[in-house]
Structure 1
Amino acid sequence: MSQAEIIESGFSSINIGSWMWAFDITKDNTAGLPTFWGQIDYFTYSYCSAGDYKMIDKNLYNEIPASDTRKQWFHPSVLISWYKFYDSGRKAMGDRTWTNDIVYMRVEEMYLINAEANTRANHLTEARASLKALLDQRDEETASKVNDMNADQLLENIYYNWRVEMWAEGRGLLTLKRFHKSMVRGENNYALTGETISFEDSRLIFEIPEREITNNPNLQK
């Protein structure tokens, strides 16, 4: 997606060129209010539009430089999604048919995977090329510095881009674990405000259902 598309597209149509895997939502198959769009979009008749906001963590928002176009994705004071995942009607509670499409995978993720894998394999030339290709359409100021980054700097920048580029697309948990990071919950979080969450925190491990433990005699504890 070009610099213009990431602001103008609304991430709402299966016809967006960089979408690799998505679901075409229609009036016939929509699940209505209890959906992704019902949770995330202020311009959809939704929980978000009624005040149950899903916001970017304030600490992460503050990390985004002014030169990064993606900062415009978020409302500058409320920090809700404003230009990422929005109904094109741009009217509060305007979409009451819930027909915006759902993205599961897009090309930008492939650039981040390539950049990360090549950095970890010490193929820094290839890593820089992938990261720069993404940032050329996001943050030209940072893109101009990529060729001077060493391996550690590349990994830090790639981690940042995983968190910002893929915000609300379901990549946060495994990214945190893969990079062995801790996260301090920003002041705009409803729960656990200011708490540091480690990638090793037991709350981030899915538990085996009790019924499976009870009914499966072959399960090794």
Structure 2
Amino acid sequence: MDLFTYSYSYAGGEKLIDTELYNSIPASDIRKKWFTEHNAEGEQYELTNWWKFYNSKRIMGNREWYDDEVYMRVAEMYLINAEANARENNLPAARASLKALLDERDADAATTVAAMNQDALLDVIYFNWRLELWAEGRGLLTMKRYKKSITRCAEDAMLPGSTYSYDDKRLTFNIPEREITNNPNLGE
């Protein structure tokens, strides 16, 4: 999905951010620019991830897919720390981690962290999980941890407007019956 590497995105396939999530990004948040670009006529492109993965030295440069694989970004570490501390009601530590991330992303939002209670912190941390790690494979487990429902946007290619609850059976990978039968260490 990296537009700047030779991939389906470069060749015209698009992965679009959900419009509801995009519209919820404050104008003060620099991450909003990850999903916008304007062409020569001033028209905005679709909500693609033009700038999230930008590297000027790599435009069309990685046709062999030899780049490093990034398994965890520093932002994810801050979010893990903030969420764990917020869930344990260690609010000063949760605020410090969240503020450290937001200082780099949205200075206006960072100023509000000090006054947040546990519920407000968890809500903001959840929003930042969705935004910061958009399209990086963290959405399903984040949704399940927070027990949230997700409604697909109208632009969704497969199921526009469909709502999924965190406990929807379609979002759980089943263990094959043969594995359950042949593995005595698995409980039912």
Q: Percent same amino acid among aligned pairs? A: 60
Structure showing the higher strand proportion among its residues: 1
Q: Distance in 2 between matches of 1:166 and 1:181?
A: 17
Q: Of 75, 80, 83, which aligns to 1:113?
A: 80
Q: TM-score, normalised by structure 2?
A: 0.86
Inter-CA distance 120–50: structure 2 relative to 1 (3 Å threshold): same
Give the structure 2 partner of residue 80 of structure 1: 48
Give the structure 1 partner of residue 39 of structure 2: none
AA at the equivalent of 1:148: A
Inter-CA distance 116–217: structure 2 relative to 1 (3 Å threshold): closer
Q: Distance in 1 between matches of 2:98 and 2:183?
A: 48
Give the structure 1 partner of residue 124 of structure 2: 157
Q: Is the 8 A contact 1:68 1:138 kept in 2?
A: yes
Name which structure has the greater RCO, CA cutoff 8 Å, separation 6+: 1
Structure 1 runs of 4+ with >4 Å offset:
217-221
Structure showing the higher helix proportion among its residues: 2
* Other structure's SS at 1:122 match: coil
5+ residue gaps, structure 1, are: 1-39
Inter-CA distance 220–118: structure 2 relative to 1 (3 Å threshold): closer
Q: Distance in 1 between matches of 2:27 and 2:62?
A: 30
* Other structure's SS at 2:121 match: helix
Give the structure 1 partner of residue 7 of structure 2: 46
AA at the equivalent of 2:182: N
Bigger shift: residues 197-206 or 167-176: 167-176
Q: Distance in 2 between matches of 1:51 and 1:194?
A: 24
AA at the equivalent of 1:61: Y
Q: Of 138, 152, 162, which aligns to 1:171?
A: 138
Q: Distance in 2 between matches of 1:161 and 1:113?
A: 11
Aligned residues: 180
Inter-CA distance 220–108: structure 2 relative to 1 (3 Å threshold): closer
1:148-189 deviation digits (Å, cap 9, x = unpaired): 111111110000011111122221111000000001101121
Q: Distance in 2 between matches of 1:56 and 1:89?
A: 25
Q: Is the 8 A contact 1:61 1:71 kept in 2?
A: yes
Superposition deviation, residue 217 in structure 1: 7.4
Q: Is the 8 A contact 1:186 1:193 kept in 2?
A: yes
Give the structure 1 partner of residue 32 of structure 2: 71
